[in-house]
Structure 1
Amino acid sequence: MEWRKSADIQNILIHEYFGISAPVIWDVVKNKLDALDTACRKLFEAI
């Protein structure tokens, strides 16, 4: 999991909300959230 990129997405959504396009958000939802979910579940299982 590329944790830095995940944090970068959060920062963009928070600080540049009006500069984000719907296609970019949709790409993240469709192509990135499953990997984040899997990584978080593995992390939680380890602790």
Structure 2
Amino acid sequence: MWDIIKEIITYSLFLWIFLVLSYSNSNQGRILGCNGKSECPQRHRNSTINA
């Protein structure tokens, strides 16, 4: 019984670390609906390139 509980805890810890690393590396522009052009509020704020 303890082996099953330990296995579940280990797997949960692995999933938590995996999800934290995955979401921390996600593209913020994709969440905002930006496609890399000038209408994105966080990217290309001081850029002189007209896309």
Question: TM (normalized to structure 2)?
Answer: 0.36
Higher relative contact order (CA 8 A, sep 6+): 1
More helix by share: 1
| Larger CA Rg, structure 1 vs 2 | 2
